[in-house]
A and B are shown apart, each in its own frame.
Chain A
C-alpha cells in the first residue's frame, strides 16, 4: 500500500510523454524544422520500404500504454484484498464516516 502512490514528477510525463512546460517560439521553430526534415525523408524514401514503417512508428505519443500499465498502474490486488492487514484496514476505515454519523434523509 505504501508504494501505491505515483511519484509527482512522473504523472505528466507518463500520460503525455513530456512535462507541462510552456513552449517558446524556439520550440515551435525546432518542431517545424524537424517536421520539414521528416517530410523530406518521406519524399526520398521509396514507398513500401522499411523506412516508411519507421517513420510511422515514431509518431506515437508518450510511452507505450502496455509499458505504463505494467510499471505503475497495475492494481496490486494481493495487497489490497488482504483486509486482515491492519494498515490497510485503518486506511479504509478513515474513508468512512464514524458510526455516530447522523443520517441525512436527503
Chain B
C-alpha cells in the first residue's frame, strides 16, 4: 500500500492490536515488492488489481515470492492469468499484461511475475447471467526443479477423467529449469473450463510432498467437475473479484449468476456493506440451482487522474 500511494499514513500501536490508516492518493508507477514466504504472490495481486485501475499513472509491478502455494489459500499466478484477467476485461479494462518470469514453489519461493495495469475513469456495469455449457477444458501441468515425467503423469490421469464428459480437453505440460524454476521443487495442475458464452470455471491444486502425481490429477479433475456442477458464471475463487468490481462500477445495475457463495465471499459482502454501503440483492434460481446477485454500483471514479 505504501509503495503505490503518496501521503498515506500507517501506524501500529505498541501492543500491536490497533492499526491506524490514513489513505493517500494512488500514484501507481513502477514498483518492486518482495512478497515473503508466508503467502503467495496471488494474495498481493488480489489487492493490486482492485486498486491499480484507479491510480494516477499506469501500474507496473514486479512481485517476487511464491507463485503457486500448496495450501491453496490464494489464487495461483496461472489462474490469475488465464481466468481472473479475462474476467476483468468485461468491466472495460484493457491492455492488462501479466507475465510469469519465474516459478516459485514453497517453502523458498523465488518466483517472479510482472503485472502491468492501465488506468480507467470508471468501470462498466456487468450483466453476466447466461453461463452456457462447457465446451472445452484447458490446463497447465507444471513442474519446476523436478522430473518432467511427473507433469505427464498428472496430465494423463486428469485427462482420462475429463474425457468422460467433454472431448475437447488439452493440458499443456510446462517444465521449468535453471533460473526460471525458483528455489524449491514443486509441481501442480490448473484447469480451466470454458463455456459457450465465454465464461470460465477453474480449479487448481499443487502437489504436496509424499503424494502421488496421479492422485493430484484425479483430485483436481474431480474438483473441477464439482465447480462445474455448482453452476454459475464464475468459479468460487473468482467470486470476490467480480463482486468487488461490480460495486466499484458506475451508477448502474450489475448482475451476475454464481453457484454457491463461499464463506470468503460472504464476509466480503458484509465488508462491502460496511465500507461502501452497497447491499446485494441475492435471488436464488431454483431451476439451475444457482443465485443471481444484483447490485447498484457506487459510482467510484478515478480521482487521482487529473484529466481524461
Looking at chain A, what size class is its interface with the partner chain? 20 to 34
A96 to B279 CA separation, bound complex (whole angstroms):
33
Q: Are A8 and B284 in contact (CB under 8 A)?
A: yes
User: Nearest chain-B residue to A14 (Cβ)?
Assistant: B266
B278 CB, nearest partner CB in chain A, Å: 11
A78 CB, nearest partner CB in chain B, Å: 11
Q: Are A95 and B133 in contact (CB under 8 A)?
A: yes
Q: Are A5 and B279 in contact (CB under 8 A)?
A: no
Q: Are A95 and B168 in contact (CB under 8 A)?
A: no
- Within 8 Å by CB of B267, from A65, A92, A97, lies A65
User: Nearest chain-A residue to B289 (Cβ)?
Assistant: A5
Q: What are the residues of chain A within 8 A of B222 when measuring CB–CB?
A: 80-81, 83
A54 to B221 CA separation, bound complex (whole angstroms):
47
Q: Are A16 and B226 in contact (CB under 8 A)?
A: no
- The dominant DSSP class at the B interface is mixed
Q: Are A97 and B134 in contact (CB under 8 A)?
A: yes
Q: Mark out the residues of chain A between 53 and 106 whose CB falls within 8 Å of any chain B CB in the assembled complex.
A: 61-62, 65, 68-69, 73, 75, 77, 80-81, 83, 88, 91-93, 95-97, 99, 101, 103-104
Q: Mark out the residues of chain A between 1 and 35 whose CB falls within 8 Å of any chain B CB in the assembled complex.
A: 1, 4-8, 11-12, 14-16, 20
Q: Are A68 and B289 in contact (CB under 8 A)?
A: no
Segment among B102-110, B114-122, B208-216, B269-277 that sits at the interface with chain A: B269-277
A1 to B133 CA separation, bound complex (whole angstroms):
20
Q: Are A68 and B263 in contact (CB under 8 A)?
A: yes
A9 to B126 CA separation, bound complex (whole angstroms):
25
Q: What are the residues of chain B within 8 A of A5 when measuring CB–CB?
A: 284, 286, 289
| Given known A-B contacts A5-B284, A8-B286, A61 and B274 have beta carbons under 8 A apart | yes
A53 to B163 CA separation, bound complex (whole angstroms):
57
B155 CB, nearest partner CB in chain A, Å: 19
Q: Are B226 and A81 in contact (CB under 8 A)?
A: yes
The total of Cβ contacts below 8 Å across the A-B interface reads 86
Q: Are B282 and A15 in contact (CB under 8 A)?
A: yes
User: Nearest chain-B residue to A18 (Cβ)?
Assistant: B279
Q: Are B228 and A92 in contact (CB under 8 A)?
A: yes
- Within 8 Å by CB of B263, from A8, A73, A97, A99, lies A73
Q: What are the residues of chain B within 8 A of A7 when measuring CB–CB?
A: 284
Q: Are B262 and A95 in contact (CB under 8 A)?
A: no
Q: What are the residues of chain A within 8 A of B289 when measuring CB–CB?
A: 4-5
Q: Are B165 and A93 in contact (CB under 8 A)?
A: yes
Q: Are A11 and B228 in contact (CB under 8 A)?
A: no
B186 CB, nearest partner CB in chain A, Å: 24
Q: Are A15 and B269 in contact (CB under 8 A)?
A: yes
When each residue 231-262 of chain B gets 1 if its CB lies under 8 Å from chain A and 0 otherwise, what string results?
A: 10000000000000000000000000000111
Q: Are B166 and A96 in contact (CB under 8 A)?
A: yes
27 A-B pairs with CB atoms under 8 Å apart are: A6-B284, A6-B291, A7-B284, A11-B284, A11-B291, A12-B281, A14-B266, A15-B266, A15-B280, A16-B269, A65-B263, A65-B267, A68-B263, A73-B260, A75-B226, A77-B226, A81-B226, A83-B222, A91-B229, A92-B225, A92-B228, A96-B135, A96-B228, A97-B134, A97-B166, A97-B196, A103-B168
Binding site for B on A (CB under 8 A): 1, 4-8, 11-12, 14-16, 20, 61-62, 65, 68-69, 73, 75, 77, 80-81, 83, 88, 91-93, 95-97, 99, 101, 103-104
A-B contact sample (20 more), CB < 8 A, given A65-B263, A65-B267, A95-B228: A5-B286, A5-B289, A6-B260, A6-B284, A8-B284, A11-B284, A15-B280, A15-B282, A20-B281, A73-B261, A73-B263, A75-B226, A77-B226, A80-B229, A92-B228, A92-B229, A95-B134, A95-B229, A97-B135, A103-B168
